[in-house]
A and B are shown apart, each in its own frame.
Chain A
């Protein structure tokens, strides 16, 4: 696999703030790479570093094997879809899409032809003569995508492109983006704070926390085998057990997680397990959620349809298969703990 982007110990500090702190990562060619994290975790700064809007305080970024240290944004074969789309209000849709080609010196007829093709690609044929202000949010998003893609970038950067869309449109665009990426084979680097989006779209996901990558890997690995408590907490609603609780439960003083759907609930005294007190229950349609207090720690179980739902306040026995209890690697936990405090 060819490397599209490689970060070598890249840092970007704004005064005292370490927005990006000694990040190493590799994005492969043709990969859909999702960067996931809460706001202020450094994921957007990483994207801006690739685009060239920010310059690293330390370290080096290689784009297709070449150092980008002294390459300004307008000389990088990288295009960005901005969070606010940043369409030019004084140009119509066709001229917006054709902007990059116009700058590159392409003739009017040719660039308008290519721009029209790009608009067809994003399912907006015939919208060229409209002004961006006359479009809906979803349509603007597609125009921004067409404007980036028409330049045939080696890497397409997407900065929370679906953030401003409503849920239904967002789900539709997620699938379209994924299909488009497969069709074009361009490397996509996608920034989002929505874990569902990152997991469903990314070939690989990098979870950012406080300027560092907490974990990087395929979505299943991130979801089922989080290496650090932060990832377990941020990605989905996993139950997180701290070392003190784990020591009491199983004698292993390590962080551990268990997925809510792996937790079973039994009436008190009916079986061997961990006694817990039910604090609340809620009906979710295909399943029911039971929140319990396990020795001072919040424990959530997702019970399938038809299971007996205990009353709030009742004491129950919670069990799970040993295989479902994922014990985290101690060394990584320590490092993440430092990042947490710093």
Chain B
């Protein structure tokens, strides 16, 4: 008792600096919030948004044709350059690829996510998470190069077609212009396959999270009111999973729009936006044009999110 009294007395007499800090935080909760938020806000505000702003600013400058020096004067001529047929070609190709990848990823991801949300329990659920996340643990480059080997003319896929005596089918497919090529690893189809594989986890996880929030009774109620399974899917399950699908598609869409490594390793030599940005800011030293290119995915994503919001994709959030 005496010991306790002495200790509490000393506590009141001279609080340690840690106690003083704790007390100050207790008296002013806003202070703690400020201390916690300051580093991430500095990072986001200054480092990230600052450099993004610098990039955007550069897109309104131009480059001197002869000296290659940036002219720091406001102009829209760099944006006008974007409308050159070759550049429009790059933009259309990239956006088309992003749309195809997003749709394919959504179609593949939905049943997997549905299984995980509705049926997988205990060990199977752990296995699901492991299966979805495991590819994210290995290096992105290793995965892309593995796919190059899989898709190559000497690769396992060709071997499989040969074993099944279906080489003619593959050849016929590769003969189709735009999506075909010399072999799968140098075709747009190859690029598409690798994109879908690499971004798939980013689609599965948000859809699974959305589906997990749909109570089973919701599906039973739909069935009870006369809806066949396909009608329940269309009128209840898809609308309720839509926020997840949109969240996933934001990942797959924007990641595809910005990627410059996959189309460089697997695919035809036709360029994507990411590669254009990379080439113009690097070897060509045309930072204004690179910046203007970089603005395109931002605008596309802004339009996409606006449309999604208008369609009510976030209403169920």
Residues of A bordering B, CB below 8 Å: 51-53, 72-75, 78-80, 82-84, 86-90, 99-100, 102-104, 147-148, 151
Contacts and interface: CB of A to CB of B under 8 A. Distances in A.
Given A84-B217, A88-B218, A89-B316, A103 B231 contact: yes
Interface in B224-245: 224-228, 231, 235-236, 239-240
Contacts of B215: 84, 86
Contact of A90 (B221, B227, B228, B240): B240
Given A84-B217, A99-B235, A103-B235, A74 B316 contact: no
B281 interface: no
A7 B239 CA distance: 37
B225 A147 contact: yes
Interface in B208-260: 215, 217-218, 220-228, 231, 235-236, 239-240
A89 to B, nearest CB: 6
A99 B222 CA distance: 8
Contacts of A72: 223, 228
Contact of B236 (A74, A79, A88, A147): A88
B218 A103 contact: no
Interface of B: 215, 217-218, 220-228, 231, 235-236, 239-240, 312, 315-316
B310 to A, nearest CB: 15
Contacts of A87: 221
The 3 closest A-B pairs by CB, nearest first: A100-B225, A86-B221, A86-B217
Contacts of B315: 90
Given A99-B235, A103-B235, A86 B228 contact: no
A192 to B, nearest CB: 18
A74 B227 contact: yes
Contact of A74 (B228, B235, B240): B228
A75 B223 CA distance: 9
B209 to A, nearest CB: 16
A103 B240 CA distance: 17
A83 B222 CA distance: 15
Contact of A80 (B218, B221, B239, B316): B221
B217 A103 contact: no
27 contacts: A51-B220, A51-B224, A53-B220, A53-B224, A74-B224, A74-B225, A74-B227, A80-B220, A82-B217, A82-B220, A84-B215, A84-B217, A86-B217, A86-B218, A86-B220, A88-B221, A88-B236, A89-B316, A90-B239, A90-B315, A99-B225, A100-B225, A103-B222, A103-B225, A103-B226, A103-B235, A104-B226
Given A86-B215, A88-B236, A90-B316, A103 B220 contact: no
B312 to A, nearest CB: 8
A103 B217 CA distance: 18
A89 B221 CA distance: 12
A73 B235 contact: no
B217 A74 contact: no
A102 B235 CA distance: 10
A60 to B, nearest CB: 21
Contacts of A52: 223
Contacts of B236: 88
Given A74-B224, A86-B218, A99-B225, 10 more contacts: A52-B223, A74-B225, A80-B220, A86-B220, A87-B221, A89-B240, A89-B316, A103-B225, A103-B226, A148-B225
A100 B217 contact: no
B46 to A, nearest CB: 39
Contacts of A84: 215, 217
A92 B226 CA distance: 19
A151 B226 CA distance: 9
Nearest to A48: B220
Contacts of A75: 226
Given A84-B217, A89-B316, A90-B316, A103 B227 contact: yes
Nearest to A104: B226
Nearest to A77: B226
A134 B85 CA distance: 53
A207 B15 CA distance: 66
Contacts of A89: 240, 316
B118 to A, nearest CB: 14
Nearest to A87: B221
Q: Which of A78, A83, A99 has the most CB of B within 10 A?
A: A99
A82 B221 contact: yes
A102 B312 CA distance: 20
A73 B223 CA distance: 6
A51 B219 CA distance: 13
A74 B221 contact: no
A90 B238 CA distance: 11
Contacts of B226: 74-75, 100, 103-104, 151
Contacts of A73: 220, 223-224
